Chain A
Amino acid sequence: MTSQLFIHNSRSENGNISKMIILSLIIHLFVISTVIITVPSASRHITFGQAYSVQLVGSEVMMPVKNISELNDILQSNKATNSIIVKKEVSRLSSTPVKKEETDNLTIEKAISALKQKERSPTQAASAAQSPSAASAPARGNMPQAPSSSRLNEYYGFIQSRVKGNWILPPSLRPKDNVVTIIEVKILSNGAVERLNFEKRSGNSYVDDSAMKAVQKSIPFPPFPAGMMDNYIEIGIRFPSSDLR
């Protein structure tokens, strides 16, 4: 029967064949574009984690101060304070907050230079910077070479190191099973945050609170670097909490 059809078709002229070709082309294009539009593309996960993670002991270890003895005293470890109050004229207080910002800037600058170095050299540089995030390659996700998206990834690096630096969670509050909290945030080009809410709660309110606090303390974010084309970015920040102890 098919052979009869075939003979039938071949007997008609080229016009019929070209019609079939056009029809086939239309159907192919339709199917392909439908598939491409409707299949959701995989979300890009950018992980700046490295193979090992360093547990920081506390702020007193983080900020060594050599010169100013007053600051040294203030930043000493948390021994029980005596009830003897030493009254001294202190003109240093303005420097305390500045010190904190300097540390932040230092971290960000190191992150920037580490990222720049990484872009220049094809081999991965070992990370000696304070923010391990910037230097190690992301676990997943494409990094196209276009300048706009490399600026974008730099910015993601800022966000990652800043939020991480503000995340406080005592190990005993971490739940035993692996849960994850996701905070979604919409950041405008001037660094302001238009929307901030939970995309996913872990179910453990202490972990969720600590995650939201970490993001709240990181606001406002720095404005988008020059070269970033976007008007805003919407990102999800994931806080996994597996119990290590």
Chain B
Amino acid sequence: MKTVKTIAALVICFCAPLMLCSNAVAKVYIDIDSPSFQQFPIAISDFQNPAGNTDKSAVSGIAMADDIKRYLSMTGIFNILNKKSFLDDNNPGQITATENIRYSDWAMIGADYLLRGNITQNDKDIIVESRLYDVTRGELLLNKKYNSNIPEQKTVARMIASDILFALTGDEGEFNTRIAFISKKRSQADIYTINYDGSEMKNITNHESIVVGPRWSPDGRYLAFTSYRDGSPEGYIRNLKNGSDKKVASFEGLNLCGSFSPDGSKLLLTLSKDGNEEIYVLEIDTMKLTRITHNYSIDVSPTWSPDGKRIAFVSNRSGSPQIFIMDADGNNTKRITFEGNYNTSPSWSPRGGRIAYEGLINSKFQIFSIDEEGNNLLQLTFDNAKNEYPSWSPSGRQIAYSSKINSKNKICIMNANGLNVRVLMESTNSSLMPAWSPRFK
């Protein structure tokens, strides 16, 4: 009948678009949960001599490349490819203005980045030109010329490594930093500093006594420390330019220096003058002292957060030494470590967010890091050594700490996730309490 037909026609008309609908593709998303690799693979060719290859220039080109490789591997975020795996490095001549790089050759050995360069050596100076290529995109990222005196070859390598790091991570790295630490020989302990690459160890204090706990000021011009030179532990600030010491805390009892505030105007102190160890804030210019913990327990090892608003410290108010956080005025104290029964030496990451500390586990001291809320606890060291006194690098990417096993005393540097451990310095003398300087200009 007509009505049935019209009904049927209408039904079909309305159903047809439904059938078309089911073919319309909703977008599919694929999730990649985490990266497979944590280090950029980079290939570094030996530097060439534009004036032709003599033996001497070949050696300096190889040495320059080796220095750069050494510096880049210190950062822990590069996987330096072994040059034996390079496919025929078939540009033996100088690098020219318009080089033809066979990017596929480099991609095939797994390189994401390629560094090539020239080095010209005169009697007085060396001129280095370096180019960084992005192999995946097939483009030149960085092209720079460096001019320097001959004895400063390593400085050029450092600058090149710094520039590469800056181009790839936005951060110039720690090549211009030093680590201060305590070296104890027999009954004397003094402060020494050493460069990030392990060179130029310098003696800073010579108190003929015990010196502990060095702390850098944010501009790198001062070191605060505690010394027993005059019989009892007193707090000093040393001016690194002229070598003068200023006594800033000589109260009765214990005077220990904590960290400087991020603006450099204040210094945290642990003093026991009012009965037991409490934390105080000292305004350096006015020498005004403010007490911020009021507790019958022992409160020590204070360290400022990078924004200056909070302070982490160690207290045994809950029965055993644990890490606490409080506001910079002493209010809102909160405990953040709950694992283990001996957690001390907190150090706050300059990027914010995490605090490294040493904790006793299985009768050994190891380095841990935990976030500011007390979550995401990570153990960073696992070996049989006594690993103590963590100190963050200015970029927050690495941690220096002291490691003692048998008679070997080391200061080590590792990435913030515990990988890529490098021995900065090793000695038969006790080496303790590393403190990482800010970046020097």
A interface residues (Cβ-Cβ under 8 A, vs B): 18, 22, 25-26, 29-30, 32-33, 36-37, 40-50, 53, 55-60, 70, 73-76, 78, 80-81, 83, 85, 90, 93, 96-97, 100, 141, 156, 159-160, 163-173, 176, 182, 205-206, 210, 213-214, 216-217, 233-240, 243-245
Contacts and interface: CB of A to CB of B under 8 A. Distances in A.
Looking at chain A's contact residues, the main secondary structure is mixed
A100 B37 CA distance: 15
Given A171-B415, A172-B415, 16 more contacts: A18-B3, A36-B18, A47-B33, A49-B33, A56-B36, A58-B37, A59-B37, A73-B82, A76-B82, A78-B80, A81-B69, A83-B63, A163-B30, A170-B169, A206-B168, A213-B136
26 contacts: A22-B6, A32-B14, A33-B14, A36-B18, A44-B28, A46-B29, A48-B33, A50-B33, A55-B34, A57-B38, A58-B39, A74-B84, A74-B85, A83-B62, A96-B109, A160-B31, A165-B36, A167-B32, A167-B35, A168-B37, A182-B29, A205-B170, A210-B35, A234-B27, A237-B32, A240-B33
Contact of A43 (B18, B28, B31, B83): B28
Interface residues of B, number: 69
A238 B35 contact: no
B222 to A, nearest CB: 28
Interface in B122-157: 136-137
A24 to B, nearest CB: 11
Contacts, number: 203
Given A74-B82, A233-B28, A238-B31, A168 B112 contact: yes
A32 B69 CA distance: 67
A96 B29 contact: no
A75 to B, nearest CB: 8
A69 to B, nearest CB: 12
A191 B113 CA distance: 26
Interface string B81-117: 0111101100000000000000000011110100000
B169 A173 contact: yes
B138 to A, nearest CB: 10
B340 interface: no
A73 B79 contact: no
